[in-house]
């Protein structure tokens, strides 16, 4: 194994200090923390980076509105992020701020190198600029010729002197990287999306501004003091400057990053601009750029203006931080959008954690106290319950690839299979019956099997729920660390004999929602009035008829299925990613699992109702509906007779 393979560099995006932390920030950071804890447990030298992005026109204007300097405002909001991560016990190794002096020096060093290489040149920029997204857009990208395609806010016409990065120079190299590295962008639907964007042609990128001053100045050697760097060049460089790029470079051997975790809204910056900057700097490219979806509430993206933002601290305080961590990683397939609800969280706590895990430990404590005064031995486990043990190890062997390929819900789903084996073994072998029949050796070996399953599951659950699993490990007489990981997981050893320690129930049942939610105002009853003759005549018409205009209000399109997978715990639902010729694939939840296997759908075409209001099914956001026909012989999807371009209208 090379020295670099023994290292793991894991990053969150640096969060923009235009508002306080919300559930989306917590989701990203919890995932990164899980990967970092696992990497350390697996013996990798690990560096986990998070922080805040503090420059740009948006911050300058927000500070001015509050009567503060940009630095005072940035200090306040950045402090809130750091305080929350500390309260959440996030195990970051460095919290970087783009106002750090070392960061600014590193960014200037990078600019100087790219400039001297000929990848940066000076010209005049004229175009549409979105202050909110800190991004430029062409006429064709705008909505209705004016509005930002990312956030929907009005853009400004900007004309000013600017330095440009030769992004177009790296178009072919970027496409080569995407094609040769299938997992460089996760999930793969995002990689396909980025490839389509780059194949459409790249323009050179404006990377400096002169209309505001709150940013990193150009290197002194260039002697052009009126320019500050475009916020995305400044921000993206944090992944290198945190390791000392351009200053003290002793940590640069952690590069390249094993995982850059980001939200899907900043995918283009990380998957197009960032690797192009790295190519210009002659630096290796990251192994994975992993883009997750949005958390919604009642099917809508959260926003301060809508008043539907979820405060992660309030949820963690009410339901327990580690329960919250488990829910966030288990509830939604990575990359898809998920809908937050207290009901779904309570169901996970009561079912997965309470019934499957907590109750299993309680049963072991109770039975071992009754049958062996708390003494538990592994002596006969392999001999008497070898089949069950082999099944457990088979599930555990599948876990690590799922974790680092961002299939976090599947990681936890697979990890729960050993718990199912343990619970079913109790019901199957009935240790109380074995004891009555004098089969004490078999009964006590069964307790040993359950203890070992709990121990092995706890080790692999530790990155998600570190304090909870430490409690379970203490009850089972061991400590979760690298040694336990090597012994119990890698070598498949069993626990040494121990006396179990009683611990209180880990997951008390929750009977009702613990956080109050605002209820919508009751609609006022409309005054009743006597129906007119015209209305009476209309009511006598056949019901359900629509006009041709009403029909054409329905948008029907041909789509190509890019990905398909089963929805956990559902007998009917499949989760699809469907290309409708739009900038991003649509996520559609369809009740067709009884008639179609996921593998049979990928690459095929379907007909989609494309302008339905998004709905949520089992916590998953669905952005359309498939057309199908169903009779007594079953269900069949409605498909085009011949292949059509994704997005082709039907009508």
Q: Is 5 annotated as a binding residue?
A: no
Q: Which two tokens stand for residue 284?
A: 């290796």
Backbone torsions φ then ψ of 183, nearest 5 degrees: -110, 20
Query: Radius of gyration of the chain from Cα atoms?
Result: 28
Q: Does the annotation place 130 within a ligand binding site? A: yes
Helices assigned H by DSSP within 136-181: 171-180
Measured between its terminal Cα atoms, the distance across the chain in Å is 59
Structure-token match 């064709």, residue found: 140
User: H helices within 171-311, ranges in order?
Assistant: 171-180, 188-199, 231-236, 238-241, 267-268, 274-280
Measure Cα distances from 197 to 89, 202, 286, 559 in Å: 38, 8, 20, 18
Q: What is residue 140's three-state secondary structure?
A: helix
Half-sphere exposure of 573 (CA within 13 A, CB side): 16
Residue 607, marked binder = no
Q: What's the angle, vertex CA 26, arms to CA 154 and CA 409, rounded to 5?
A: 110
Please give the full DSSP string across 309-345, using - where no structure is assigned: ---HHHHHHHH-HHHHHHHHHHHS-TTS-EE--HHHH
CA distance 649 to 646: 9
3 state SS of 583 = coil
Task: Determine the Cα–Cα distance for residues 611 and 633; give it in Å rounded to an integer.
Answer: 30
Question: How far apart (Å, rounded) are the C-alpha atoms in residues 429 and 474?
Answer: 27
Q: Cis peptide leading into 522, omega within 30 of 0?
A: no
Give the distance from CA 35 to its chain's centroid: 12
Q: Is 133 assigned to a binding site?
A: yes
Reply yes or no: is the peptide bond before residue 406 cis, omega within 30 of 0: no
The tokens for 598 are 């996921």
Binding residues: 130, 133, 148, 151
Binding residues for Zn(2+): 130, 133, 148, 151
């Amino acid at each position: 194994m090379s020295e670099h393979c023994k290292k793991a560099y894991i990053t969150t995006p640096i969060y923009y200090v235009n508002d306080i932390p919300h559930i989306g920030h917590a989701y990203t950071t919890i995932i990164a923390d899980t990967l970092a804890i696992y990497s350390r447990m697996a013996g990798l030298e690990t560096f986990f980076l998070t922080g805040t992005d503090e420059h740009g026109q948006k911050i300058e204007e927000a500070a001015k509105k509050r009567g503060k300097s940009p630095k005072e405002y940035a200090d306040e909001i950045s402090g809130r992020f750091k305080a929350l991560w500390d309260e959440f016990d996030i195990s970051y190794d460095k919290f970087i701020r783009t106002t750090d002096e070392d960061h600014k020096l590193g960014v200037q060093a990078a600019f100087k190198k790219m400039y001297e290489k000929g990848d940066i040149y000076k010209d005049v920029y004229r175009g549409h600029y979105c202050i909110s997204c800190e991004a430029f857009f062409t006429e064709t990208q705008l909505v209705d010729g004016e509005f930002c395609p990312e956030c929907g806010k009005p853009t400004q016409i900007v004309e000013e002197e600017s330095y440009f990065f030769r992004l177009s120079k790296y178009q072919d190299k970027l496409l080569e990287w995407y094609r040769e590295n299938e997992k460089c962008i996760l999930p793969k639907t995002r990689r396909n999306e980025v490839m389509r964007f780059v194949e459409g042609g790249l323009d050179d990128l404006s990377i400096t501004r002169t209309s505001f001053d709150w940013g990193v100045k150009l290197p002194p050697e260039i002697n052009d003091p009126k320019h500050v760097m475009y916020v995305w060049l400044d921000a993206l460089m944090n992944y290198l400057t945190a390791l000392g790029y351009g200053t003290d470079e002793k940590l640069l051997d952690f590069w390249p990053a094993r995982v850059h975790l980001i939200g899907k809204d900043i995918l283009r910056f990380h998957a197009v601009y960032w690797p192009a900057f790295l190519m210009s700097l002659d630096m290796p490219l990251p192994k994975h750029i992993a883009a997750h979806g949005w958390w919604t509430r009642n099917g809508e993206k959260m926003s301060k203006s809508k008043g539907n933002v979820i405060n992660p601290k309030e949820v963690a305080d009410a339901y327990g931080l580690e329960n919250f961590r488990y829910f966030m990683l288990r509830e939604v397939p990575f990359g898809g959008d998920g809908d937050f609800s207290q009901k779904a969280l309570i169901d996970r706590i009561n079912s997965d954690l309470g019934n499957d895990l907590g109750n299993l430990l309680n049963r072991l404590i109770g039975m071992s106290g009754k049958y062996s005064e708390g003494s538990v031995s592994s002596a006969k486990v392999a001999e008497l319950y070898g089949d069950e043990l082999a099944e457990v190890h088979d599930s555990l062997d599948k876990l690590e690839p799922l974790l680092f390929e961002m299939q976090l819900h599947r990681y936890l789903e697979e990890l729960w299979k050993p718990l199912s084996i343990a619970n079913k073994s109790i019901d199957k072998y009935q240790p109380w019956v074995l004891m009555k029949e004098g089969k004490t050796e078999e009964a006590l070996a069964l307790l040993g099997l359950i203890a070992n399953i709990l121990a092995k599951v706890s080790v692999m659950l530790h990155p998600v729920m570190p304090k909870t699993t430490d409690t379970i490990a203490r009850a089972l007489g061991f400590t979760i660390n690298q040694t336990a990981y090597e012994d119990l997981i890698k070598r498949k050893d069993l626990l040494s004999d121990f006396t179990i320690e009683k611990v209180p129930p880990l997951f008390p049942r929750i009977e009702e929602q613990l956080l109050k939610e605002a209820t919508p105002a009751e609609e006022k009853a409309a005054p009743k009035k006597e129906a007119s003759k015209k209305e009476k005549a209309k009511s006598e018409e056949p019901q359900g008829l629509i006009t041709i205009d009403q029909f054409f209000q329905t948008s029907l399109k041909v789509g190509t299925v890019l990905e398909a997978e089963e929805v956990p715990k559902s007998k009917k639902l499949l989760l699809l990613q469907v290309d409708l010729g739009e900038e991003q694939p649509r996520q559609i939840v369809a009740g067709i699992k009884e008639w179609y296997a996921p593998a049979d759908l990928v690459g095929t075409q379907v007909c989609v109702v494309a302008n339905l209001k998004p709905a949520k099914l089992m916590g998953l956001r669905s952005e359309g509906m498939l057309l199908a026909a169903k009779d007594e012989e079953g269900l069949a999807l409605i498909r085009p007779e011949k292949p059509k371009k994704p997005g082709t209208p039907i009508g």
